[in-house]
Structure 1
Amino acid sequence: MRPTIQINTILLIAFIYSLGVGKSIAQPESMGQTMPFFRGCSEVKKLDDKRECSNRALVNYLGAAIDYPEEARNERIEGTVYLSFVVDSLGKVGNVMVLRGIGGGCDELAVSILKEMPRWEPGIREGNPVSVKMNLPIQFALGKEGELEEQYRIIWENYADRPSLTKEEILNALNTPVSLLDEKGNNVVLSELTFLRTKKNKFKDASSSGQVTS
């Protein structure tokens, strides 16, 4: 069985948007209004593609920022933290609130991550930027008790165990195979590999599908 590598500390379930804080639930984006977009998708023009890019960029951001709290891990606390926040007309995130929490440090962690978000591209109504209230559920889930997470090591050029690479290093390694090794040093097949690029709080990603082992 091929192992699956995934972010298992969070699950982006859904968004509920309210355009104009305290007003009615927003109508579809095709009705002359758009919801906020997470940074990193400004060059995408088609609305549906831009929304998909925004959701993916947000998931990548959360996945990189969130680490399971030690208290919750030790107490095996699992569940969903429901939060609300506002993206104002300048794209700033504020008014972060926990609607329903689970404790164990998960609530505080989720709040701090949202407060530290970079600016969004603000929502638009009738051509003008507006404040948008958003609800976001974040699910924290542990594996089965006694089940150990498999550890893997990525080898690319001479960049093993590096958390990030410069643009020059990436360009120099483009034609070099990528290897993924398990704890015993065996090669593992990658079905998809995604790179996340950050620059000035903007996020872009690129994916490669298929077998990409050496």
Structure 2
Amino acid sequence: MSDFSDSTPEIRWYIAHTYAGYENKVKANLEKIIENRSLQNVITDVKIPVRIITEEPKEDAVSAADEAKAEDESDITAESDKKKEPKIIEEKIFPSYVFVKMIMNDETWHVVRNIRGVTGFVGPGSRPVPLTDEEVANIGELEEQTVINLSYKVGDSVKITAGFLKDAVGKVAEISDDKKKIMVIASMFGRDMPVELGSDEVTLLEG
């Protein structure tokens, strides 16, 4: 372990490496130690950077058997009109890493390093290296990004779920880079026409 007695007592962000799957446990245990030992003035924040991923739902096909069992068509229509909510997932941007904002000294080094699941700090040899201001800013930008995982791709058949073309069927012709807008070729006025829609305004038709 390096001697930190000659270092400037400055609060900086450092990165602790953990075993795979231990990130949340390390964060929870470290926060508990900080509270129990009143270390809030030297270890001020613990983070696991995550991004939000939105997975668009797939359209459930109504089978012939289900239709036969239905008492009337209104039940089927009411069921088909129910729009599924997109699935929201948190994804770790840097798996196996926990970010700690702290004053690095012998005491705080031992506190973090001795938590079960921590294998060490990021840095050459045994001396942790703090993140630069630019690196901290870049991580913040990554956290603010929302990733959209669509259930469909170009060429897939989709059902439009909103707007004046609701319930119409078309094919995906184009998907924007940010996956927020799509172009669908749908039948209007007796001909195929391109329609720009929000990516959440269609669902994939399976089968």
- Structure number with greater Rg is 2
Structure scoring higher RCO (CA < 8 A, sep ≥ 6) equals: 2
Above 0.5 in TM-score?
A: no
TM-score (norm 1): 0.21
Greater percentage in helix: 2
TM-score (norm 2): 0.22
